[in-house]
Amino acid sequence: MLGQIGIVPDALRPADIDETARPGEAPRDYVRRMALEKAEAIALACDEAVLCADTTVAVGRRILGKPADRTEAASFMRLMSGRRHLVLTAVALRHAGQIRLRLVETRVRMRPIDAAALEQYLDIGDWRGKAGGYAIQGAAAAFIPWIQGSFSAVVGLPLSETATLLASVGIHPAPKGRDA
């Protein structure tokens, strides 16, 4: 996604953290903690910056993480069917001993999903590895007539806010034909 705003990362390094929500943890607190823990888990040289993000789906105070299986994905989709939910994406930028954090909230309305449409969706498999059991840029787009907020945040990285964070530490889009 960074390529869409002209940013070419030097490397992709996964953060090995436990992504389990704490008992009673509010969705906003959870997603902020995940982004911060990811940023802190990556080893950095003194001249490097690390950008980490985490996205979660919340229905009320309930956090809908990545479904473990088809049954849980179906449960998540039924819960969101015909109602609004919140997609929370936190972005953390660690550079020069400091961490900057942004939280982006997007409201999403899912139309009512009948049993046949749900089964077809589950058969496609787009729910695998996705917070809330769906990807707005995939087959689930057919269920989403309305959003209020950042489409790119629902995909997983709020590009406008990310560009602002990166610019704050001197990271700007690379001119066409050159790497960052």
Q: Find the angle CA(158)-CA(19)-CA(34) to the nearest 5 degrees.
A: 40
Q: Which amino acid is at 90?
A: A
Catalytic residue set? 54
| Integer Cα distance of 99 and 102 in angstroms | 10
Residues comprising the chain, all counted: 180
Place of tokens 């950095």: 44
**Banded model confidence at residue 5, pLDDT cuts 50, 70, 90:** confident
pLDDT tier for residue 12 given thresholds of 50, 70 and 90: confident
CA distances from 139 to 8, 125, 134, 146 (A): 28, 9, 8, 15
DSSP string, 50-112: EEEEEEEEEETTEEE---SSHHHHHHHHHHHTTSEEEEEEEEEEEETTEEEEEEEEEEEE---
Q: Check pLDDT > 60 for residue 136.
A: yes
Amino acid at the residue 17: I
Q: Phi and psi dihedrals of 133, rounded to 5?
A: 85, 20
Q: What is the CATH number of domain 2-167?
A: 3.90.950.10
C-beta neighbour count of 120 within 10 angstroms:
13
The tens digit of pLDDT for each residue in 137-180 reads: 999 999 999 999 999 999 989 999 999 999 999 988 877 655 54
pTM: 0.91
Amino acid 10: pLDDT: 85
Using an 8 Å Cβ cutoff, are 93 and 169 in contact? yes
Mean of all residue pLDDT scores within the chain: 93
